[in-house]
């Protein structure tokens, strides 16, 4: 039976801006009930007001890197929503620093936010999904998790890790009605590069040219929504450069990395 948007309750982390906000607006427009989470309550409330049928949506702010706050948020969501059909793990932070300039502390911070925080929340939600005989876990990875490049060493590693974890989860829980999808964004017009961590843990504070010229968050969200509703599990969304890179990687990884070495990727 085809899933109807109006029957879906979708929890989206990192929903206060960027692709999380765009996904919330896109699914709300189709009739789904959205649980919006992030650290900034005021920004989440502003996104909620922009969502169609704003009264039906729920705001639950928390810091995804804080294990205690995650548990409290989960309890608040289940108390207010009653069920979670889909969890879209979108919260995260990027990186713009060379490996030799990046401290181990920053690498651990990236792994904590982009990997451990995502698996922690998913494990909290999964028992309820299994009990209700169905649910969907969506991981927002990155093309950087498929193709390593300069300035994104730890970020790419964390996004690759979440991709592999999702593959294992899909294999383990498929027979229990759990769907697992991984989305691999390329360059999307958001503040991701502005907020990206540098080698000492400070934010870069500037917009990358490639990010500025990427797909709009709205266009990205529309493609993701269509792919998820069709049941796709491996969703790569990017511009022509990213698509070309993926094609070259399939044909000749050494040639791709020669191109990456010679390119300006920051």
- Write out the CATH class of domain 5-240: alpha beta
Could you say which residues of the chain have pLDDT below 70? 1-2, 264-266
**Closest listed residue to residue 181, CA positions, set 115, 137, 212, 148:** 137
Predicted structure pTM score: 0.94
Catalytic residues, by residue number, are 155
pLDDT at 204: 94
pLDDT at 160: 98
> Cα torsion at 92, 98, 100, 101 (round to 10°)?
-80
pLDDT at 22: 98
pLDDT at 1: 53
pLDDT at 246: 86
Query: Is the separation of the CB atoms in 19 and 223 below 8 Å?
Result: no
Parse the chain into domains and list their residue ranges.
Answer: 5-240
Distance in angstroms (rounded) separating the CA atoms of residues 212 and 149: 18
Phi, psi torsion values for 85, nearest 5 degrees: -85, -45
């Amino acid at each position: 039976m085809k899933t109807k948007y109006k029957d879906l309750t979708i929890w989206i982390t990192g929903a206060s801006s960027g692709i999380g906000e765009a996904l919330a607006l896109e699914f709300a427009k189709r009739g789904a009930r959205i649980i919006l989470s992030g650290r900034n309550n005021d920004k989440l409330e502003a996104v909620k007001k922009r969502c169609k049928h704003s009264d039906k949506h729920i705001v639950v702010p928390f810091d995804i890197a804080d294990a205690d706050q995650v548990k409290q948020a989960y309890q608040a969501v289940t108390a207010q929503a009653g069920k979670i059909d889909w969890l879209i793990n979108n919260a995260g932070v990027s990186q713009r620093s060379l490996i030799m300039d990046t401290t181990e502390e920053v690498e651990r911070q990236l792994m904590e936010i982009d990997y451990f925080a995502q698996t922690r929340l998913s494990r909290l939600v999964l028992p309820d999904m299994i009990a209700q005989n169905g649910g969907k876990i969506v991981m927002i990875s990155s093309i950087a998790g498929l193709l390593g490049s300069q300035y994104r060493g730890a970020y790419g590693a964390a996004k690759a890790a979440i991709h592999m974890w999702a593959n294992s989860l899909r294999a383990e829980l498929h027979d229990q009605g759990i769907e697992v999808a991984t989305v691999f964004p390329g360059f999307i017009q958001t503040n991701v590069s502005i907020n990206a961590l540098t080698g000492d843990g400070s934010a870069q504070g500037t917009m990358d040219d490639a990010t500025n010229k990427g797909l709009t968050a709205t266009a990205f969200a529309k493609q993701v929504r269509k792919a998820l509703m069709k049941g796709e599990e491996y969703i790569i969304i990017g511009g022509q450069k990213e698509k070309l890179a993926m094609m070259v990687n399939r044909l000749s990884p050494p040639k791709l990395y020669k191109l990456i070495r010679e390119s300006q990727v920051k």
